[in-house]
Amino acid sequence: MSKTYIFYIDGMTCINCSNGIKHCLRNKFGDKLQYFHVAITTADPKKTIVTLDNDEDTRAHQIIWSELKEEIEDIGFICREYEYSPEKIVKKTMQNELQKQAQQKLSLNSLITKTKSLLTSHWFLGAIGSIAGLAVLVACLVTGGSLAFMVPIAIFSTLATLALGANSYNQAWSKLTKTGILTMDSLFALSSLSILAVSIASLFVPWLPMMFEAGLLIYGFRHIGIAIEETIKEKISTARFQDRAPKIARKQVDLDVEEINLELIQINDVIVIHPGEIIPLDGICMNESSVYDTIITGATLPHYFSAEKKVLAGMRLAENSNPLKIRVTHTHTNSYLKRLDDSIERSVLEKAPIEIKTEQVLAYFIPTVIALAVLSGVIMGFFFPAAVAIQCAISVLASACPCTLGLITPLAVNTGMHKAAENGVQFKSAKTLQQAEQIDTVIFDLNGTLTTGVPKVKNLYLLDNSRLSEEEILSICETLEKKSSHPIGKAVYSFANQKSKQKLDVTELDETYHSGVSGVVLGDHYTIGSKALMREKGVSITSELKHPPLAAGDQLVYVARNQEIIGVMVLTDPLRTDAHHTINALKVMGKEIHLCTGADEETALRYAKALGIENVFANCIASSMENNHRSKTAYIHTLKKQGRKIAMIGDAGNDAEAIAACDLGIAIASDGSDELTQQVAGIVIHNQTLLPIASAFAISRQTVANINQNLAMNLIYNSAAIPAAAIFTLNPVICVALMITQACFTFLNVYRFKQQPLEHLQQQITEGVKEPSFEGSHAKITKHTPRSNNESTCIQEPSAPQKPLTSKSTAHPFWSSCISSISADNSSESMETKLPLTIAN
Domain ranges in the chain are 2-86+835-840, 242-346+757-796, 425-451+578-685, 456-572
Cα 522 to its chain centre, rounded Å, is 59
Task: Supply the pLDDT for residue 700.
Answer: 93
CA 541 to each of CA 288, 564, 814: distance values in angstroms, whole numbers, following the listed order: 47, 8, 86
Task: Supply the pLDDT for residue 811.
Answer: 46
Task: Supply the pLDDT for residue 258.
Answer: 87
Q: How far apart (Å, rounded) are the C-alpha atoms in residues 215 and 396? A: 15
Residue 156, H or E segment = helix 147-164
Q: Helix, strand, or coil here: 311?
A: strand
For residue 325, the cross-strand partners are 272
Tell which CATH architecture fits domain 425-451+578-685: 3-Layer(aba) Sandwich (3.40)
Quick one: fold of 2-86+835-840?
Alpha-Beta Plaits (3.30.70)
Residue 557, H or E segment = strand 554-561
Q: Helix, strand, or coil here: 578?
A: coil
Q: Helix, strand, or coil here: 631?
A: strand
Contact indicator for 807, 112 with CB cutoff of 8 Å: no
Q: How far apart (Å, rounded) are the C-alpha atoms in residues 309 and 284? A: 6
Tell which CATH architecture fits domain 242-346+757-796: Distorted Sandwich (2.70)
Q: Same CATH topology for 425-451+578-685 and 456-572?
A: no
Residues in Cβ contact with 4 at an 8 Å cutoff, skipping those fewer than 6 apart: 35, 49, 50, 51, 838, 839, 841
Q: How far apart (Å, rounded) are the C-alpha atoms in residues 381 and 73? A: 41
Task: Supply the pLDDT for residue 264.
Answer: 86
Q: How far apart (Å, rounded) are the C-alpha atoms in residues 159 and 128? A: 13
Q: How far apart (Å, rounded) are the C-alpha atoms in residues 212 and 139? A: 11
Residues in Cβ contact with 484 at an 8 Å cutoff, skipping those fewer than 6 apart: 490, 492, 493, 511, 517
Q: Helix, strand, or coil here: 525?
A: strand
Those residues of the chain that have pLDDT short of 50 are 83-101, 626-627, 769-841
CA 764 to each of CA 203, 490, 758: distance values in angstroms, whole numbers, following the listed order: 71, 35, 10
Measured between its terminal Cα atoms, the distance across the chain in Å is 6
Task: Supply the pLDDT for residue 786.
Answer: 38
Helices (H) and strands (E) in the chain, counts: 27, 27
pTM equals 0.66
pLDDT per residue over 190-209, tens digit each? 888 888 888 888 888 877 77
Which long-range contacts does 633-638 make (Cβ < 8 Å, 24+ apart)?
A: 633/657, 633/658, 633/661, 635/443, 635/594, 635/596, 636/443, 636/661, 636/662, 637/661
Provide the CATH number for the domain formed by 456-572 in this structure: 3.40.1110.10
Contact indicator for 224, 124 with CB cutoff of 8 Å: no
pLDDT per residue over 554-597, tens digit each? 888 899 998 889 889 988 888 888 899 999 999 999 999 999 98
Buried b / exposed e over 384-400, threshold 16 CB at 10 Å, is eeebebbbbbbbbbbbb
Q: How far apart (Å, rounded) are the C-alpha atoms in residues 293 and 309? A: 13
Task: Supply the pLDDT for residue 92.
Answer: 36
